[in-house]
Structure 1
Amino acid sequence: MKLEDQLLGLHHVTAMTSDAVKNYHFFTDILGMRLVKKTVNQDDIYTYHTYFADDIGTPGTTMTFFDFPNNPKGKKGTNTISRTSFRVPTDAALEYYEERFEQYKVKHEPITTEFGKKVLRFWDFDEQAYQLISDELNQGMKAGIPWKKGPVPEEFAIYGLGPVEISISYFADFKGIFEGIFGFNTIQQEGNRYLLEVGEGGNGAQIILVDDATSPQAEQGYGEVHHVAFRLADRKSLAVWQEVYTKLGLPNSGYVDRYYFESLYVRIGHILVELATDEPGFMGDEPYETLGESLSLAPFLENRRDYIESVIKPFDSSR
């Protein structure tokens, strides 16, 4: 495969929440991430799809959420994406957030070290698992731009996705696929935890694989992650990967136009993996100043706007 068609790093993580409004306030008011897009699930228009990112929605900075109606609470376990990380610039930023979590009564652990980097683990109101990871010793994929008008000082603020943790019971097979097909390299091991990276490497291009054959099977629902997406340069690269999947006999979605990016989905065991292009991004249909403040719809849904706005519960995201 040509260098320009290889995976570049993390693109986004999509999870499920029990409450889009509480989730919005948690991510903007407490974490200090910017809502760059408020839209609906293109496959289920009764469900919000919210995108939280850096100041301009840079690829590799985005955490997104669905609020599926009547979705049960997920169950923790193995064979799932078990934790999402967010990058902060320094070790001092972790101390800032530790105090902030105390202030806002956010469940968290003390700051620890994993794979040589300082981390701060925490959970939201749905018990969705996260961690902050310090970029102080990081090299590799560039981070984004902190939200300039957010509640967290820019020198401390979240500005990208960090390593995504995946727990797996069929560890050797899964790891072999990520190394042999997706091009990841294993660079460190701590006990049953393995750090893999792709592309330029660094916190924005890593996953943590956990060898876990003893925990119960995780179950999808709110408080759990839906899928992880990795960056590709453009649509041409998507076509290359679709050919790879076809040759390997891996059932896949085929090309999907998500308007803000273009995608290709494949399921590796229990894990849904999306490849998503860097372009066109989130800046094409709303002014920078008011990103995420109104309901944005892909062009093919625009003629149904009146109906969608009548069936989806509105919430105020003006800043």
Structure 2
Amino acid sequence: MRLKGLHHISSLSANAEKNLAFYRNILGMNLVKKTVNQENTSNYHLFYADQQGSPGTELTFFEIPNLAAKRDGTNRVSSISLLVPSIESLTFWKDRFTRFQVNHENIQEINGIPSLPFEDPEGHRMVLTPDVHATLDVTNQTDDIPQEQAILGLGPVTLVVQYLEATSQVLTNVLGLTQVRSYEKNNTSVHVFEMSDSGLNGQVHVEQQKDTAKSREGRGSVHHIAFRVETEEELKQWVERLENEGFQTSGFVDRYYFRSLYFREPNGILYELATDGPGFDIDEDLASLGKKLSLPSFLEPDRKEIEAKLKPLRT
């Protein structure tokens, strides 16, 4: 029972079409699955990843039209990282962000690594982080984003919490991460937790903001973070383990493309454990991923009604 790194990160958007334009056209990520929110089939759920939809490269968005703006505060995922192949890549991306008027900061050190913070058009906060020891294949290149600059996958995720010790106990004693170091950010200590043998793809950074007002979800905020579990059998063991630890969980959930388990840690941040398979090619060829609306088999009988409620999305 060992977590293998980040599986995916799911966030909120008020406009799927504008979201697609940014993540596909500006960041060069692949739309590998155009589907719907299984809890509200009136809205899109978009998955971006490498060309194979590999676990560890997936960034997903739930569309909620007319969603209010988020309110920053404590008890939230404050930023996520996307890995790029080299420090030199950051200059390419800084110039690209300037050209396309993407809100970004200067290149700066975060945890001792030169990094480039930026935001998408809805205020979703991200950081480009070079991973010179990356083992992920680079398969996000486009006509104007060469292979040596293209996004690799997910890097460290940063949490801001009210009670550091509570989150630390869950990450280490329950989920099996190791606290490896800390660094200073705006005169505050940020604590780094790591999944073994996962590199930057297996890091969670935690900052305590005890006296800050609590955050409120909205457009541009992260909904949950998901960690990789290898098999369904192992996931079922995690259900038992977490419930024995006193957590209320979702139990075993079939998401069709993977199997899941959800629970909230004491500061209210939503975690998911997700299996590596079956994968996004269960209902589409790899060469055709994201080209059409995909529905899990249990929603397929309702396709006509579901498509009638969705605004067509140009892909």
Structure 1 counterpart of 2:44, one-letter code: Y
The runs of 4+ residues in structure 1 deviating greater than 3 Å are 148-151
1:165-200 Cα offsets, whole Å, 9 max, x none, are 110011111111111111111112113111110131
TM-score, normalised relative to structure 1: 0.94
Contact 2:141–2:150 (Cα < 8 Å) also in 1: no
**Structure 1: segments with no counterpart, 5+ residues:** none
Task: Note the 1:105-254 alignment, pairs <5 A.
Answer: 105-136=101-132, 138=133, 142-149=135-142, 151-191=144-184, 192-254=189-251
CA distance in 1, matches of 2:193, 2:29: 26
* Whole-Å separation in 1 of the counterparts to 2:233 and 2:258: 13
Query: Could you report, residue by residue, the CA deviation over 1:131-154 in whole angstroms, capped at 9, with x for unpaired residues?
Result: 010012x47xx3243225464111
Q: Partner of 1:288 in structure 2?
A: 286
Q: Which residue of 1 aligns with 2:295?
A: 297
Matched, 1:93 2:89: yes
- Paired with 1:314 and 1:158, the residues of 2 have a C-alpha distance of 28
CA distance in structure 1 between the partners assigned to 2:197 and 2:81 by the alignment: 18
1:84 counterpart residue number:
80
Cα pair distance change 1:96/1:149, threshold 3 Å = closer
Q: Are the aligned partners of 1:87 and 1:133 in contact in 2 as well (CA < 8 Å)? A: yes
Q: Contact between 1:265 and 1:273, CA under 8 Å: does it hold in 2?
A: yes
Structure 1 distance, partners of 2:83, 2:211, is 30
Question: Unpaired segments of 5 or more residues in structure 2?
Answer: none
Residue 255 of structure 1 corresponds to 252
**How far is the alpha carbon of 1:220 from its aligned partner?**
0.8
Distance 1:185 1:150, change over 3 A: farther
Give, in whole Å, the separation in 2 of the partners of 1:199 and 1:190: 20
Counterparts of 2:223 and 2:281 in 1: how far apart (Å)? 25
Look up the match of 2:50: 54
Q: Pairwise CA RMSD of aligned residues?
A: 1.2
Equivalent residue for 2:308? Answer: 310
Q: Map 1:261-272; keep pairs closer than 5 Å.
A: 261-269=258-266, 270-272=268-270
Question: Within 5 Å, which residues of 2 pair with 1:3-22?
Answer: 5-22=1-18
Q: Deviations over 1:110-163 (max 9, x none)?
A: 111122222100001111100010012x47xx3243225464111100011000
List aligned pairs for 1:274-285, cutoff 5 A: 274-285=272-283
Residue 288 (structure 1) shift: 2.1
Higher mean C-alpha displacement, 266-275 vs 65-74: 65-74
Deviation at 1:310, TM superposition (A): 0.3
Q: Percent identity?
A: 38
TM-score (norm 2): 0.96
SS at match of 2:299: helix
- Contact persistence 1:28–1:150 (CA under 8 A): no
Secondary structure of the structure 2 residue equivalent to 1:299: coil
Which residue of 1 is the match for residue 21 of structure 2? 25
- Could you tell me how far apart the structure 1 residues matched to 2:159 and 2:193 are? 11
